[in-house]
Amino acid sequence: MRRIFVFSFCIFTVALFSARAEELRGIGAKPWGDTDRIGRPFAKDPSVIRFNDKYLMYFSICSFAKDRVPPGAKKNGWAIGIAESSDLTGWKKVGAILPEQECEQNGLVNGRVIKIGCRLHLFYNSYGNGKTDAICHATSNDGLKWERDPSNPIIRAQGAWNSGRAIDCDVLEHDDKLLLYFATRDPTMKTQMLAVASANMTSDFSRDAWKQIGDGPVLKPELPWETKCIEAPSLIKRDGTIYLFYGGGYNNDPQQIGCSSSKDGLHFTRLFNDQPMIPNGKPGEWNSSETGHPGVFADDDGQTYLFFQGNPDHGKSWYLSWVKIGWADGKPFVKP
């Protein structure tokens, strides 16, 4: 009888962990996408902030379909959408950040927002210019209307080891500096990797305030599942340690999510090597083609959320979702 009980318990335990593995592959809160521009869900590159008792999410939106281009539109490039929620589950689009400056005329994407003092700061990149895409900056009082930095673009990649391109950014306060991490490519434009620049917290974050740190990448693809791309840095600091979530692999390679940690913000150690922290889903699941481009968010109650993009059709549609993140032994994990 005892053997039967132990055997049954083992079967139950295996089934439980298998169920959790299945849940991980089909991971995420109810997926959401913006349908305004092409008539089907399409939203990428999530970044979330809590502001005035509501949540604002900034995300990349693609060009309009030909039959949906607004009358009188001079350009039809990518832009940044803004959605609002009271509970992180129901989202309503409330605005968009459209091209204004010359450097943005072909498009802009990847908005990362941070509150400094009483003002919001948006860091994003121009899009559609190949090697010359670069990081830009804007400020706002309400999160909806944005005032561009007249010095834009503020950052291009420097050094012979890269192509000069700078995209996919995030920022983090560290030791009286604002660190800005971004993706660049090697001179052949084949391999994507991460670089970092810094500015004093007392600066205005315009072009002259920034200095690139180091003469090489802070993180580059090395693991098989990362293929030739590490991009979409998203950072959080806990107990003196900086955690950098990232997308490994180009879109639909599939891109999957990894995480590394650092004490100084310059030297990172991967926390997951043999496999990604969050893989893409199985065939038939909403994120079967990709689980990528993470955006970490720490709420006022201490709960950590990791937003990400995914799709089941190799990029014909794009959805946004999130998982709750727990912390144990210096590592993040996905809560069931």
Nearest to 257 by CA among 207, 200, 315, 321: 321
- Tell me the pLDDT of the chain averaged across its residues: 92
* pLDDT at 8 exceeding the cut of 60: no
| Residue keyed to tokens 């709420």 | 299
Q: By percentage, how much of the chain surpasses pLDDT 90?
A: 89
d(C-alpha 125, C-alpha 120), whole Å? 17
Q: What's at 333, amino acid-wise? A: F
Least confident of 14-28, 41-55, 73-87, 310-324: 14-28
Q: In which band, very low, low, confident or very high, does the pLDDT at 285 lie, cut at 50, 70 and 90? A: very high
**Buried (b) or exposed (e) across 89-99, using 16+ Cβ within 10 A?**
eebebebebeb
Q: Residue 47 CB: number of other CB atoms within 10 A?
A: 26
Q: Residue 159 CB: number of other CB atoms within 10 A?
A: 15
* pLDDT at 95 exceeding the cut of 70: yes
> The domain spanning residue 215 has which CATH number?
2.115.10.20
pLDDT at residue number 5: 39
β-bridge partners, 174: 177
> Residue 261 is inside which H or E element, if any?
strand 256-262
Q: Where are the alpha helices (DSSP H) in 113-263?
A: none
Task: Determine the 3-state secondary structure of 103 from DSSP.
Answer: helix
pLDDT at residue number 12: 34
Tens digits of residue pLDDT in 138-186: 999 999 999 999 999 999 999 999 999 999 999 999 999 999 999 999 9
pLDDT at residue number 26: 63
d(C-alpha 228, C-alpha 316), whole Å? 22
* pLDDT at 1 exceeding the cut of 90: no
* pLDDT at 2 exceeding the cut of 60: no
DSSP E strands: which ranges in 65-166? 79-85, 92-97, 108-116, 119-126, 135-140, 147-148
* pLDDT at 23 exceeding the cut of 90: no
* pLDDT at 3 exceeding the cut of 50: no
pLDDT at residue number 24: 44
Q: Residue 336 CB: number of other CB atoms within 10 A?
A: 11
Q: By percentage, how much of the chain surpasses pLDDT 70?
A: 92
pLDDT at residue number 191: 98
Domain housing 117? 2-334
Tens digits of residue pLDDT in 25-74: 567 899 999 999 999 999 999 999 999 999 999 999 999 999 999 998 87
CB-CB contact of 170 with 155 (8 Å): no
* pLDDT at 202 exceeding the cut of 90: yes
Tens digits of residue pLDDT in 217-261: 999 999 999 999 999 999 999 999 999 999 999 999 999 999 999
CA-CA-CA-CA torsion sign (313, 316, 317, 323): positive
Tokens matching residue 114: 């941070």
CB-CB contact of 247 with 229 (8 Å): yes
Main-chain phi, psi angles of 111, to 5 degrees: -80, 125
Total domains, the chain: 1
Main-chain phi, psi angles of 243, to 5 degrees: -110, 130
State the pTM of this model. Answer: 0.91
